[in-house]
Structure 1
Amino acid sequence: MTSLLLVRHGETDWNRQRRIQGSTDIPLNEAGRAQAADAARHLRDILDTNAPVAMAASDLGRARETAQIIADALGVGGVGVYPDLRERAYGEAEGLRPEEFSERWGSWDRAEVPGAEAWPDVRRRVLRGLRSAVGDARSRTAPGTSTVIVVSHGALIREVIRHASAGEFPLDGERLPNGSIHRLRFEHDHLSLLSYEAAEDALRMTATTEAVAPAGRTA
């Protein structure tokens, strides 16, 4: 059994400008580097320090730099780079803002964008990449339970979560923040979702609201 921790890369200028990045290789900005350092601190808190840890990343620069910042902070030697873990290619939509996308192609869910990678192909690719990352980690580390930290991209991580939860998550319109961490189990070539940060934030918000809600009211 392998514990998979999927981390979305830190912020880029295109993230800040709400531009569609896809396979365009946009580097981290300073805020993104700070988010990567924050993710490393969070990972240090939740990792089993006695279990072997491996690092893997998409081959796009924003993911590789995020992974290297985390690896350096955790003392993990080396980051495996996997092109199969890169973001979905959005074809002619890359570089556009959402409103520009809507003007050209309408609804995001039903749009057929020239040059965009089909979602079934994305899913096959990312699952192949995760199998390779886990297999390589197992060959490099001690037998038994291990942990692989995988730094990838928002749409790709959403597709993995959707696959692992049989379509139950993420919720419609839910955005996975830069630097967010999502936990899965990889066992006998099967993925199971343990938690993802957007859902954890929602649960914390609900608990806080209920705690301060006046008696007789529901939040």
Structure 2
Amino acid sequence: MKLGFVRHGQTQWNLEGRLQGSSDIPLNDTGRAQAREAVEVLGAGGWDVIVSSPLSRARETAQIIADGLGLELGPSYDLLIERDYAQGEGMIEAEALAQWPDKNGGGIEPLASVVDRGLRAIEQIAADYPGKNVAIICHGTIIRYTLSHLAGYKLDTIRNGSVAIVGQDQDGAWQLELVNDEVPAKISG
């Protein structure tokens, strides 16, 4: 089994540096182009199904990718929704950090909760599609911190429209194979 994580394409709030979290902000034209570019990275992966977060920016990215790969769009999973930034939703990130260092406070969902949801989503998707290669279209924070947990080291960033791939080894442990469309330095170097 292989999982391909794709961060949704750019939105206007991404462009402006705003925290959008669980706010349902649509893709912009750059985001749609990034989704089409992700098809090229995923193209040779032998994907069986495309699933996503239910937020429109992830769903639209997923539909573009499904169409590009000639697959039917699969279901959405609420567990894949982005981190809830609560009072920080819509704020410029620097403003939120000034008010809540490390984005702790203001009702912002703790990172441990985000990782827990990410891991539960992986378990659910693996149970729903045993042995299948699944492309999962969701959000930067949940991808970054869930994959950091699986890899055992902190990933710096997950770019809009980029692909990260994890595969299971013989013991069933997840191994990071690709991040931001490239082999991670921890593997390649």
Instruction: Calculate the TM-score normalised by the size of structure 2.
Output: 0.89
Which letter does structure 2 place at the counterpart of 1:175?
T
Q: Distance in 1 between matches of 2:108 and 2:180?
A: 27
1:37 paired residue number = 36
Report if the CA contact (8 A) 1:91-1:117 is conserved: yes
Give the distance between the partners of 2:16 and 2:80, measured in 1 at CA.
24
| Amino acid of the structure 1 residue aligned with 2:154 | F
In structure 1, C-alpha distance between the alignment counterparts of 2:139 and 2:68, rounded to whole Å: 21
- Which amino acid letter does the alignment assign opposite residue 176 of structure 2? L
Letter in 2 for 1:76: L
Instruction: Give the whole-Å Cα distance in 1 for the aligned partners of 2:70 and 2:167.
Output: 23
Aligned-residue identity in percent: 36
Within the alignment, does 1:151 sit opposite 2:137 as a pair? Answer: yes
- Residues 170-207 of structure 1 show CA distances to partners (whole Å, capped at 9, x for unaligned) of 1xxx221101000101466632212212764879xxxx
Q: Which has the larger radius of gyration?
A: 1
Aligned to 1:134: 126
Tell me, which stretches of 5 or more residues in structure 2 are unaligned?
Answer: none
Q: Which residue matches 2:19?
A: 20
- Tell me how far 1:104 sits from its aligned partner: 1.7
Cα distance between partner residues in 2 of 1:137 and 1:186: 14
Structure 2 equivalent of residue 180 of structure 1 = 162
CA 1:169–1:102: 2 relative to 1, 3 Å: closer
1:4-83 aligned at under 5 Å gives the runs 4-44=3-43, 46-48=44-46, 53-83=48-78
2:116 pairs with 115, 124, 132, which one? 124
Question: Aligned-residue CA RMSD in angstroms?
Answer: 2.2
Q: For residues 202 and 185 of structure 1, do their structure 2 counterparts lie closer, same or farther at Cα, with a shift above 3 Å needed? A: closer
- 8 Å CA contact 1:93, 1:113 repeated in 2: no
Given residue 77 of structure 1, which amino acid in structure 2 is its aligned partner? E
Range with bigger deviation, 182-191 or 62-71? 182-191
Aligned partner of 2:180 in structure 1 is 197
Q: How many residues align?
A: 186
Query: How far is 1:137 from its partner?
Result: 2.0
Deviation of the 1:146 alpha carbon: 2.5
Separation in structure 2 between the aligned mates of residue 202 and residue 29 of structure 1, nearest angstrom: 31
CA distance in 2, matches of 1:202, 1:160: 18
* Matched residue type, 1:87: E
Structure 1 residue 163 corresponds to structure 2 residue 149: yes
Tell whether the 8 Å contact from 2:62 to 2:73 is kept in structure 1 after alignment: no
* Cα 1:11/1:78, change in 2 over 3 Å: same
Gaps of 5+ in 1: 139-144, 204-219
Does the 8 Å contact 1:175/1:198 carry over to 2? no
Amino acid at match of 2:158: L
Matched-pair contact (CA < 8 Å) for 1:60–1:86 = yes
